[in-house]
């Protein structure tokens, strides 16, 4: 309904000004094919006019006459609305595990130079908006300032601040309030720094999760969670707004016989990432009730299917992240992530990896089941923003059985609407922010071609892939 209203508004806006003279600073882009995910159609020989930060006109056929500051022939290219990566830790530096007074301390400090690199790579791969699901709120606020001022080049971001999680997770990217006063102070601090979301993490107790959801809402923040032992069902009952990752790995969502097996096998390792899927009964009453409640409460889920895939395949990462793509991640973050994945598979035998790979189709089936049921589904990478993994994440959703046009909608207008930004980005239409990606190949024919970006326009400003990746070394 909302989408329909917007389309009518856009149509009225267009007919009200049939042939406005192009502003002198306007740029005409013409000759391309425009993909419209909402209408599932391709408009051939399309054109659009960008003035300042805004799309002022769109059409097809002969472009309107007028004086333009610039005319750009985009023949042979495919235009889509700028992509939205809804799970991108854009301000995150490398994970570090240190020993402080003999005890481990896990930190994810923000490093401006790394943030600027990640932001530029996100944009290079067509991502003009990100939802950052957790990071140092001071660094996040600095990100927003530098992007808004044009000092840094990168996507617009909505953020969650410090991730609420007990030690050993410490430092600016984490917080662990204990008293009611501390909970309120942390939510107030994050809200004051311009955060939109409050991220609750997997080692919180159910009581802590409940407190987190409550204080988030009291301070105007949306509560999102990455859970493990506390079930998605319980989180929804407590009022959670969003759930991250295809890891609903609580024993409470397994039927009793499978639950006993699951609990008997649980160890100090990450095998539960596949074990839960081996045991879950998607046709059983518990999962059935969960899906029904997610739909009823319209809880936004974000599958980050690449996370499951990468954990299951951590014994042969080069097949999942080709070595030639390493250069699009900052070397420090890449090294830390690879080390983190290696440490995370402690205790995994070759057989565990085989079982993980065998569980992947069930992970994809879980995503498809939620999508088909009508659960609002975002799409995000769990990386630092875009990069080659963005196209890969989209491809995993297509592999799950979600039609390609629906996935194109997920990464553009659906994601934008779920972030509350649908009025100004996520569509190519007059009056919208000029956030546009030009691709060399048609991604509706092959979703993996989403990564073949030629040019990206963010808030009206055009950047070529080549210019954004100028310092990224070519590998032999």
**Residues within the interface to Zn ion (CB under 5 A):** 382
71-75 contacts at long range (C-beta below 8 A, 24 or more positions apart): 71/27, 71/28, 71/30, 72/27, 72/28, 72/29, 72/30, 72/462, 73/30, 73/31, 74/29, 74/30, 74/31, 74/32, 74/438, 74/455, 75/31, 75/32
Please state at what angle helix 285-297 crosses helix 350-373, rounded to 10 degrees.
Answer: 50
Shortest Å distance, C-beta 133 to Zn ion: 5
The smaller minimum CB distance to Zn ion, of residues 55 and 90, is found at: 90
Residue 434: exposed, middle, or buried by beta-carbon count in 10 A (0-12, 13-18, 19+)? buried
The answer for residues whose C-beta is within 8 angstroms of residue 257's C-beta and 6 or more apart is none
The smaller minimum CB distance to Zn ion, of residues 36 and 382, is found at: 382
The smaller minimum CB distance to Zn ion, of residues 382 and 414, is found at: 382
Shortest Å distance, C-beta 382 to Zn ion: 4
The smaller minimum CB distance to Zn ion, of residues 144 and 382, is found at: 382
Shortest Å distance, C-beta 225 to Zn ion: 11
The smaller minimum CB distance to Zn ion, of residues 85 and 382, is found at: 382
Shortest Å distance, C-beta 311 to Zn ion: 13
Residue with tokens 């808004």: 148
Q: Which single residue brings its beta carbon nearest to Zn ion?
A: 382
The smaller minimum CB distance to Zn ion, of residues 110 and 459, is found at: 110
The smaller minimum CB distance to Zn ion, of residues 382 and 393, is found at: 382
Shortest Å distance, C-beta 307 to Zn ion: 8
Shortest Å distance, C-beta 254 to Zn ion: 24
Separation of alpha carbons 86 and 429, rounded Å: 22
- Asked whether the beta carbons of 104 and 466 are under 8 A apart, the reply is no
Separation of alpha carbons 8 and 11, rounded Å: 5
Shortest Å distance, C-beta 238 to Zn ion: 21
């Amino acid at each position: 309904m909302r989408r329909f209203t917007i389309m009518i508004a856009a149509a009225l806006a267009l007919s009200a000004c049939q042939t406005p003279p192009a502003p002198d600073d306007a740029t005409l882009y013409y000759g391309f094919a425009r993909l419209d995910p909402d209408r599932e159609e391709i408009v051939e020989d399309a054109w659009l006019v960008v003035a300042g930060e805004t799309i002022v006109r769109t059409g097809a056929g002969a472009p309107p006459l007028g004086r333009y500051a610039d005319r750009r022939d985009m023949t042979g290219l495919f235009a889509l609305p700028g992509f939205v990566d809804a799970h991108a830790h854009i301000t995150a530096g490398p994970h570090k595990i240190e020993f402080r007074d003999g005890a481990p301390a896990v930190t994810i400090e923000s490093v401006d130079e790394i943030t600027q690199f990640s932001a530029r790579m996100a944009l290079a791969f067509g991502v003009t908006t990100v939802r950052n699901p957790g990071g140092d709120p001071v660094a996040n606020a600095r990100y927003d300032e530098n992007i808004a001022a044009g000092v840094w080049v990168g996507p617009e971001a909505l953020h969650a601040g410090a991730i609420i999680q007990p030690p050993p997770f410490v430092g600016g990217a984490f917080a662990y309030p204990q008293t009611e006063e501390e909970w309120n102070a942390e939510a107030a601090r994050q809200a004051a720094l311009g955060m939109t979301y409050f991220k609750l993490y997997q080692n919180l107790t159910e009581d802590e999760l409940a407190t987190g959801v409550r204080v988030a809402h009291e301070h105007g923040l949306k509560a999102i969670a990455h859970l493990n032992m506390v079930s998605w069902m319980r989180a929804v009952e407590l009022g959670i707004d969003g759930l991250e990752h295809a890891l609903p790995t609580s024993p409470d969502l397994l039927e009793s016989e499978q639950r006993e097996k699951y609990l008997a096998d649980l160890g100090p390792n990450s095998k539960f990432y596949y074990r839960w899927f081996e045991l879950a009964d998607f046709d059983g009453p518990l999962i059935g009730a969960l899906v029904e409640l997610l739909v009823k409460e319209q809880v936004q889920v974000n599958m980050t299917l690449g996370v499951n895939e990468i954990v299951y395949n951590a014994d042969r990462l080069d097949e999942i992240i080709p070595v030639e793509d390493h250069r699009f991640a900052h070397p420090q973050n890449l090294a830390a992530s690879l080390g983190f994945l290696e440490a995370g598979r402690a205790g995994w035998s070759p057989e565990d990896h085989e079982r993980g790979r065998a569980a992947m189709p069930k992970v994809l089936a879980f995503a498809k089941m939620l999508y088909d049921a009508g659960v609002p589904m975002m799409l995000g990478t769990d990386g630092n923003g875009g990069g080659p993994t963005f196209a890969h994440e989209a491809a995993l959703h297509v592999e799950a059985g979600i039609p390609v046009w629906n996935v194109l909608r997920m990464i553009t207008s659906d994601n934008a609407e779920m972030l509350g930004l649908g009025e100004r980005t996520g569509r190519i239409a007059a009056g919208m922010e000029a956030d546009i990606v030009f691709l060399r190949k048609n991604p509706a024919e092959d979703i993996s071609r989403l990564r073949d970006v030629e040019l990206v326009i963010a808030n009206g400003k055009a950047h070529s892939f080549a210019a954004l990746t100028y310092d990224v070394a070519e590998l032999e």
